[in-house]
Amino acid sequence: MLRNEAAVTTAIATHPAALTASDRCDRCGAQAYLRVELQTGGELLFCAHHAREHGDKIRAIAANVQDETHKLQATPAAIRDDEL
């Protein structure tokens, strides 16, 4: 009897996807700029504020940290019409 099976490959991404505006801080719900892969599995997302506040604890439990806080400095502030 012949079985029709699809070939399956498992690939692990070498670089996690960039964080987007839809990624939210697990602590407060603000936009996340830090992804923490835990040593025990799973991940946590943090805004820049909570990443700084809990930095020592994060480093103690992290297997890998994706830090995109540099994006905060790369985006210029919006100029209001009354400032022109």
Is the residue at 64 inside a domain? yes
Quick one: tokens of 36? 């923490």
Is residue 60 classed as helix, strand or coil in its secondary structure? helix
At position 35, the amino acid (one-letter code) is: R
Whether residue 6 has pLDDT greater than 70: no
Exposed/middle/buried for 43, CB within 10 Å: 0-12, 13-18, 19+? Answer: middle
Is the residue at 6 inside a domain? no
> 36 and 57 in contact (C-beta within 8 Å)?
no
- The boundaries of the domain holding residue 62 are 19-74
Sign of CA dihedral 58, 14, 47, 42: negative
Count: domains in the chain: 1
Is the residue at 70 inside a domain? yes
Is the residue at 44 inside a domain? yes
Question: Considering the entire predicted model, what is its pTM?
Answer: 0.70
Higher confidence at residue 6 or residue 42?
Answer: 42
